[in-house]
Amino acid sequence: MDTRLLEDALILLEERSLTAAAARRNVTQPAFSRRIRALEHWIGKNLLTREANRVELSPTLLQSEPQIRALLAHLRQLHGHLKNSEGTGEPLVLATQHSLSVSVVPEILRKFRTSGRTPQIRLRTQNQVSAMSTFLRHEADVLVSYEYRELPQVPFDDTVDRCVWRRDTLLPVVGGALRHDLLEGQILPPDAPCIDYPSGSFFGQIVSLHQNKAERAWIGRSTVESAFSVGISQMVLEGTGAAWVPHSLIQNHIISGDAVILSPEYGRLPLDIVLYTHVSNPRGALFRKSVADLD
């Protein structure tokens, strides 16, 4: 049996939707449905309850999620062991958010190589939810992710080690011609153009939570909405609008004067940059320890 069929089932369990699961696998829904039917044929039992206007996951599939995760993790571990025994070690897989892949991961890798270790690194950049899913499926040795202390922490159990590597800050900034239009005290003028995060995105949740208690409200004319903070930082520099951007992404432009931090009245949102590794994964643990010891 192709183990990718089990991976399909796991993604279906996570998404609870054939359409969303097919999108995650970058295939059409009919093609994904055929793969699920192939798995059902191999098992000899239906995993979906198919009715005229809806499809539901069967109780058998729902109850089997822990076993599917464990089996896939074991198969990947066995695959890695067999490859390593032949002297062809697999790359160390690091999953992270897009913004961290640009601003922080290069620094982490530089520190790791300072320790004298030089394995090949495979970087997987995704949004926060997808990166965590990749890590939980044991498809990544290390997860590098932001945490905001006023949001609930990720509910990992004691099979996952957590290490705060360093801090970052989400800052209100402006650039381009707009930085010359600020009022006294680095206040945005009325109806200033702003770049917003979608409310359901990680940074969108943080900013929305903060606005409920901010000393000065973030009021402006929304010109662009994007979850891609790397792109937002570039739009800020072009003068497209004011936005909240991680300090690690924009710090060099603040130093050069191309970007300006807005009034403290808007707030400063502290972030933790966290490294996660599975206790059962010695390669990930070695990476985390090497980086932490050099910090």
Q: Are residues 112 and 203 in the same domain?
A: no
Over 60: is that where the pLDDT of 86 sits? no
160-175 vs 243-246, strand pairing mode = antiparallel
Phi, psi angles (nearest 5°) of residue 267: 105, 165
**Cα–chain-centroid distance for residue 200?**
13
Please state, for a pLDDT cut of 90, what percent of the chain lies above it.
Answer: 39
Q: pLDDT at position 135, please?
A: 92
Please state, for a pLDDT cut of 70, what percent of the chain lies above it.
Answer: 92
**Residue 284 within any structural domain of the chain:** yes
- At residue 81 the predicted structure's pLDDT band, cuts being 50, 70 and 90, is low
DSSP assignment of 189-242: PTT-EEEE--TTSHHHHHHHHHHTT-SS----EEEEE-S-HHHHHHHHHHTS-B
Over 60: is that where the pLDDT of 287 sits? yes
Average pLDDT in the 26-33 region? 89
Looking at 12, 33, 67, which one is the last position of a domain? 67
Domain holding 217: CATH number? 3.40.190.10
- Residue 76 corresponds to which tokens in the numbers above? 């990947």
Q: Are residues 95 and 21 in the same domain?
A: no
Among 120, 160, 133, CA closest to 275: 160
| Residues whose CB is less than 8 angstroms from the CB of residue 283 and which lie 6 or more positions away in sequence, other chains included | 92, 119, 141
How far is Cα 39 from Cα 31, in angstroms, rounded to an integer?
13
**Residues, the chain, total?**
295
* Whether the Cβ atoms of residue 99 and residue 247 lie closer than 8 Å to each other: no
Structure confidence by residue, pLDDT tens digits, 90-99: 789 999 998 8
Average pLDDT in the 252-277 region? 94
**Residue 74 within any structural domain of the chain:** no
Question: What does pTM read for this prediction?
Answer: 0.67
Instruction: For the chain, give the mean pLDDT.
Output: 86
**Residue 79 within any structural domain of the chain:** no
Among 256, 235, 258, 232, CA closest to 246: 232
Structure confidence by residue, pLDDT tens digits, 170-204: 999 999 999 999 999 999 998 899 999 998 899 99
Q: pLDDT at position 48, please?
A: 87
